[in-house]
Amino acid sequence: MVRDNSARVIVNGIHGTDGSFESLGHSLYNADSFSVESDTQTNRQSPPGEDDNDTVLAPVSGSRSVRLSGQTSFSRVNRGFPSLDKIASLRTWLRQLESLILPQQGLGWEVEDVVRGQTYDPTASNSRGLLFEDVSWSYSPDSGERFNWTVQGVFSDGVQNQNSPNNYVSQRGFSDLQTDKIVVDNVDIEFSYVENRDVSRTTNIQTTDLIHQVEGSSGDSPVLGTINEGVTTEVVFDGVVYVPDSFASTTNEFDRRLQGSEAQLYDMFSGVIWEGTVSSSDSTIESGRPGRFDFSVTLEVGQVLG
């Protein structure tokens, strides 16, 4: 059986509240799962002493959201960027995925669902666009040239201005980093092997409920979505550090020096130096494995005061 590697979900771009449209053309390759979830507020009232068939239900309003997830390959992504080499195309694709989470998302994103044969368009009279509130990607060398991604959003009518996804892609950029490491003050610890790396970008969207009785009709009431907090990014690395010649000093620095200061986490895979502060870290030394320790480190992206 040949796996279908076609673009099943395409994010065409973002619509501004001023009528503008900024094209992105981001294909979510190998979308293994595309779930549309509907929730209804039933306003259930069950009188004391009555059985379930006497319960009163008033299903007037609710919400609708999506969750997409997939696993795709370097080569599949590269075919979408024929002018770039494999690594540059991968890094560009990751930046585009991250750009779906913006502090302001205009009227919403236009998304083409090839499987269902639908286009979610915030400017169409019989449709509604998407506001994205969470994206993440992860990579482990054990998976070879494959990596995982997820996207979550809500069907809502955005009311704020829009930021530019293309500006995010160009401003974030990427560099050809030579190693994975963390730098805090004068501490510079190289990671010998990163077993898994996870990057997640999130924001919080407050929405009004949709009214089920009029949803999809010509009298469709708006479902207003407001992003009421900024974007947060968290990066998690798990792996191994081999330091046979300076084991005691390196473990001591890792355990004592990473917290509470500005940190730079060098990500050789995505070509990004993530800047912020370490929120958690741990080291594990195992008997019979001299000169090495397993590590986990979580960095929250942002500007560190002090």
In tens, the pLDDT along 249-268 reads 999 999 999 988 999 999 99
pLDDT tens, position by position, 203-219? 988 876 655 555 554 44
What's the gap between Cα 269 and its chain centre?
16
Whole-angstrom distance, CA of residue 100 vs CA of residue 222: 22
**Which helix (H) or strand (E) segment is 111 a member of?**
strand 108-113
- Domain membership of residue 227 (yes or no) is yes
**Of 19-33, 77-91, 177-191, minimum mean pLDDT range:** 19-33
- Domain membership of residue 2 (yes or no) is no
Among residues 23, 19, 31, which one has the least CA distance to residue 72? 31
One-letter amino acid for residue 242 of the chain: Y
- Domain membership of residue 207 (yes or no) is yes
Q: Which two tokens stand for residue 97?
A: 């995925």
Helix, strand, coil % over all residues of the chain, rounded to 5: 15, 45, 40
Whole-angstrom distance, CA of residue 191 vs CA of residue 196: 12
Whole-angstrom distance, CA of residue 158 vs CA of residue 198: 29
Whole-angstrom distance, CA of residue 199 vs CA of residue 139: 9
The CA-based dihedral angle spanning residues 215, 217, 218, 219, taken in that order and rounded to the nearest 10 degrees: -40
pTM of the full structure: 0.87
- Domain membership of residue 167 (yes or no) is no
- Domain membership of residue 216 (yes or no) is yes
Give the pLDDT score at 45: 62
pLDDT tens, position by position, 133-164? 999 999 999 999 999 999 999 888 888 999 99
Q: Are strands 61-73 and 146-155 parallel, antiparallel or unpaired?
A: antiparallel
- Domain membership of residue 144 (yes or no) is yes
Cβ atoms of 114 and 9 closer than 8 Å: yes
Share of the chain above pLDDT 90, in %: 62
- Domain membership of residue 53 (yes or no) is no
- Domain membership of residue 233 (yes or no) is yes
**What does the pLDDT average to over 225-245?**
92
Give the residue numbers spanning the domain of 91.
Answer: 9-39+61-162+172-301
Structure confidence at residue 226 as a pLDDT band (50, 70, 90):
confident
Among residues 263, 10, 14, which one has the least CA distance to residue 112? 10
Number of H helices, E strands in the chain: 4, 19
**Angle CA 20–23–26, to nearest 5:** 145
**Number of separate domains in the chain:** 1
> Rounded to whole angstroms, what are the CA distances from 89 to 46, 86, 93, 174, 183?
57, 5, 6, 11, 27
Give the pLDDT score at 58: 45
